[in-house]
Amino acid sequence: QVLLVESGGGSVQSGGSLRLSCAASTYTDTNMGWFRQAPGKEREGVAAIQDDGRTIYLDSLKGRFTISQDRAKHTLYLQMNTLKPEDTAMYYCAARLGYYYGPSYVLLTTSPYNYWGQGTQVTVSS
């Protein structure tokens, strides 16, 4: 069982920055990801970090978003810069316990993940 608690969301103006955090109850042999879901849209993968530290990003967000982790603190981060109104969404943290042997890009889909947080809202105004 993994408990995930996101924080750091809020309202910012276009061009601003936010850093999201996800505190996990365990961080052993985990692959972690950030997802977002805007009203009326499907949940989409934003970024993921594998248990060996490799990172994967949604192509359209490369250069603006950075995923990182502090294993000692059991915390996952998402640094979001140059935010745009289209980044407005609920942001979710997800965890997959155990080794992952599939293609990296699949970690940007919901299927590999066992556990999800409750989400934190990000609103970007123009």
Please give the pLDDT value at position 56.
Answer: 96
CA dihedral 10, 92, 24, 9 (to 10 degrees): 0
Beta-bridge mates of residue 122: 10, 89
Q: Please report the pLDDT score of residue 34 as a whole number.
A: 98
Residue 57 CA to residue 94 CA, distance in Å, equals: 14
Is residue 2 within 8 A of residue 115, CB to CB? The reply is yes
pLDDT in tens, the chain (126 residues): 889 999 999 999 999 999 999 999 987 778 999 999 999 999 999 999 998 889 999 999 989 999 999 989 999 999 999 999 999 999 999 999 887 888 999 999 999 999 999 999 999 999
Question: How much is the pLDDT for 22?
Answer: 97
